[in-house]
Amino acid sequence: MSIRIASWNINSIRRRLKLIHKLKKEFSIDILFLQECKCTENDMPYEELKKIGYKYIYYNGQKSYNGVAILSNLELKKFFSYDFLGKGEARHICGVTKENINFHNFYVPAGGDEPDPVKNIKFEYKLKYLEEMKKKFLEEDLKKTIILGDFNVAPLEEDVWSHKQLENVVSHTKVETDSLKSILKVCGFKDVIREHFQDIKLYSWWSYRARDWDKSNRGRRLDHLWASNDIAAAFLSCSIEREVRSWQPPSDHVPIIATLNLL
DNA sequence: ATGGTAGGTCTCCTA
C-alpha cells in the first residue's frame, strides 16, 4: 500500500479552495500539507474542505499571516505544533499517522530584504529559526520522520536561476544555505527531491512580480521534502509540479508531490 | 539601480 502526499504554500486557503480541489482530483493526494493559509482557526473553511474530500483537518492558524494545515483522507493518531522562539506564530504543525510516521510541516520565516542580521531583525529571526529546527531534530531520535514545507531557502546552485545574481539575495545567501545544509547533514536527513533529481535546475517558486514568470523562468527551489534515513527509501517517486503555477488564481509556489510506500 | 504583483487587512504589512 502506498500514499500520495503533497506540500504546497498556497498563499491564502480561502482564495485557493478550487485549486486544492483540482490538485486532489488530478494528483490523488491523500495528505496535503499547506503553508500560508492566512486565517484563524475560526475562519478556516472546514465545510468546503470536507466537501472537497478531506475528512480530517488539522490546523495551526493565525490572523492574516502564516497558518499551517494538514488535510487528510486518513485519520491521524495525534498532532501538535512548535512555537519556536515564542512569538506565537503559526509556522509548524506535526501530524503522526497510525504507522507512526511523523510529518513536520514548516513555514520558515522569509527573512525580509536586507541580508544582514544586524540591520534586519527579520533576517536575524530567520537564522535563529533555522537554528531552532536544527536543535529540535538533534535532540530527537529520528524515527520515520519527514520534514517538509516552505523552508524559504534555496540551498544549491541548481536551486536558483542564477547563483551569481542571487548570492546576496535573501533565500540564497551563504549564511542561510550553510545553515540549511547543516540541518540536513547533522540531523541525518535526506533531501528526497534531490535524491531523485541531481544536477538539474529545479524550482518551486516564481515571483508574482515577473511580467512573464514562465518565459523569464527566474525561479527558486524554496520548498522541500526531507526524510530520515529509515524512511527515505520508501519514497517511490516525487515531483515538483511546475504547471500548477499557471492555475488561476495562482499561488507563487507550486506543490511538491511524493508517493510513499507504507509496505 | 529600480520596481514590479498578490493577499489580508492592520488603508500598511508581509511576501
Count of Cβ atoms closer than 10 Å to residue A73 Cβ:
16
Of A187, A34, A121, A94, the C-alpha closest to A179 is A187
Q: pTM (2 decimals)?
A: 0.97
Give pLDDT, residue A150. 98
- Where residue A178 sits, what CATH number does that domain have? 3.60.10.10
Number of domains in chain A: 1
Of A4, A1, A12, the C-alpha closest to A251 is A12
pLDDT digits (tens, 9 = 90+) for A73-94: 999 999 999 999 999 999 999 9
Give pLDDT, residue A230. 96
Q: Which nucleotide is nearest to A251 (CA to C1')?
A: B6
With a pLDDT cut of 70, the percent of chain A lying above it is 100
Give pLDDT, residue A231. 97
Over range A2-30, report the average pLDDT: 98
**pLDDT band at residue A263 under the 50/70/90 scheme:** confident
pLDDT digits (tens, 9 = 90+) for A92-143: 999 999 999 999 999 999 999 999 999 999 999 999 999 999 999 998 889 9
H or E element, residue A2: strand A2-9
Give pLDDT, residue A141. 85
Give pLDDT, residue A139. 87
Domain enclosing residue A85, as ranges: 2-261
With beta carbons less than 8 A apart as the criterion, state whether A192 and A223 touch: no
With beta carbons less than 8 A apart as the criterion, state whether A256 and A193 touch: yes
CA of A159 to C1' of B7 (A): 26
With beta carbons less than 8 A apart as the criterion, state whether A97 and A74 touch: yes
Nucleotides of B under 7 A from a protein CB: 3-10, 14-15
